[in-house]
Amino acid sequence: MALGFRAIMQFVGLLLSLLGWVLSIITTYLPQWKSLNLELNEMENWTLGLWQACVVQEEGGLECKTFDSFLALPAELRVSRILMFLSNGLGFLGLLASGSGLDCLRVAEGQQALKKRLLVAGGVLLWAAGVAVLAPVSWVAHGTVQAFWDETLPEVVPRWEFGDALFLGWFAGFFLLLGGCLLSCAACSARAPGASGHYAAAAMPAQKHIEAEETHGLMCTCEEDVTGAQWKSLNLELNEMENWTLGLWQACVVQEEGGLECKTFDSFLALPAELRVSRILMFLSNGLGFLGLLASGSGLDCLRVAEGQQALKKRLLVAGGVLLWAAGVAVLAPVSWVAHGTVQAFWDETLPEVVPRWEFGDALFLGWFAGFFLLLGGCLLSCAACSARAPGASGHYAAAAMQHRRRALEMRGTPPGI
């Protein structure tokens, strides 16, 4: 029996919603919504959350103090507490409702209208939970940015910066929104034939299609390696025993005697514009690539997903190809921007010749290869979707399944002892 596209949407939507709900709970209790690094005392790092403030000391470890008064907190923290609690509750109710409406569970099996309403209600609740996460996280981030660039404060005054919990909150809200939308769309989609009361089990054919091997093998996910610390390299002529490398997250120095030492960037807002935008675009590329692989993988001819709906499989292939193509562009843009700035700084005649110059790092070449493979894979998938099918290929896997089922029935009906 073929696993319907509706069932896949339900499974992926519930999985993303569960992941977003767990991340929202973690975000609620993490004391790292804001971070503060004191330049006068680099051995202390301060972090601020919704419930407590902490200081991290290299010698004394971690010390935290819980806020004594709720009313004495700033308005953004008070409202953030309420909205995060609301998000956790809505997410829990949404998971319960949508889980009860899944086709793979025999809950209200004979009442398809009720299961559809449960899926829609669960999707709406999860979507509202995502909004309730994104609102406080974005509010705190907006206030942090405004205070960081406040020109009325003296430069010696330390500034709060983004903490890790904000990024977790954005991921949680995105996953909850995406999961809720998928569940609602799955409730409104048509059911697969033959799946009226039972969950259609997936069965992979023994022989794979040649077209799937050619197109799917070209999709490279090596953009994850591009986020390393080798976007730029610097060789000092005065000290040839040290090589410096620079990435999106940290700067490293390689010494022949001391080995490798890296230091993570303390502030996101204090980074150059090319590195800030490159971080965002690389995250966008990873997300688009993941969605493109899901869509194009569901539209392959070698998979029994929406087997009787060729128009749907064609749209999935085209959508996956476009997403992968966009992921390739999102990789090539920051890599080429950093490379362009490196070339301009290298040939800057206004700088003295004794000043060392940054050069291309290995991560830039990996990024160009990743973008090229993503563009090529996306184009091949889109072209494969628009090409004509081979004669007799529409029922190839259906005929193989019928033949296998016939053999099983014949063996089951054979008298014992023969």
CATH number of the domain at 162, please. 1.20.140.150
Which stretch of DSSP H or E encloses residue 245? strand 242-246
Q: Do 80 and 33 share a structural domain?
A: yes
Residue 105 in domain: yes
Over residues 287-327, the pLDDT tens digits come to 999 999 988 888 887 766 666 778 888 888 899 999 999 99
- pLDDT at residue number 347: 84
Tell me the three state secondary structure of residue 138. helix
Confidence category of residue 386, pLDDT binned at 50, 70, 90: confident
- pLDDT at residue number 392: 47
Q: Do 36 and 182 share a structural domain?
A: yes
Residue 23 in domain: yes
For the packed helices 75-100 and 5-29, what is the interaxial angle rounded to 10 degrees? 150
Residue 402 in domain: no
Q: Do 134 and 54 share a structural domain?
A: yes
| % of the chain at pLDDT higher than 70 | 75
Q: Do 223 and 156 share a structural domain?
A: no
Tell me the three state secondary structure of residue 392. coil
Q: Which amino acid is at 249?
A: W
Residue with tokens 């999961």: 179
- pLDDT at residue number 265: 84
Provide the 10 A C-beta neighbour count for residue 227: 18
Which stretch of DSSP H or E encloses residue 52? strand 52-57
d(CA 103, CA 62): 48
- pLDDT at residue number 235: 64
Residue 403 in domain: no
Over residues 149-169, the pLDDT tens digits come to 888 887 777 888 888 899 999
Residue 198 in domain: yes
d(CA 168, CA 414): 59
- pLDDT at residue number 418: 44
- Residue 284 belongs to what domain range? 208-227+265-390
Contact 182, 13 (CB under 8 A): yes
Q: Do 213 and 122 share a structural domain?
A: no
Confidence category of residue 236, pLDDT binned at 50, 70, 90: low
Residue with tokens 């500034």: 159
Residue 152 in domain: yes
Over residues 89-105, the pLDDT tens digits come to 999 999 999 888 887 76
Q: Do 71 and 195 share a structural domain?
A: yes
Would you list the DSSP string of 10-45?
Answer: HHHHHHHHHHHHHHHHHHHH-S-SEEEE-SS-TTEE
Residue 373 in domain: yes
- Joined together, the tokens standing for residue 114 give 């009720």
- Joined together, the tokens standing for residue 217 give 């093998």
Name which of 36-40, 299-303, 340-344, 391-395 the model is least confident about. Answer: 391-395
Domain count, the chain: 2
Over residues 66-75, the pLDDT tens digits come to 888 887 888 8
Q: Do 141 and 270 share a structural domain?
A: no
d(CA 203, CA 7): 14
d(CA 35, CA 267): 9
- pLDDT at residue number 200: 37
Confidence category of residue 385, pLDDT binned at 50, 70, 90: confident
Residue 418 in domain: no
- pLDDT at residue number 101: 84
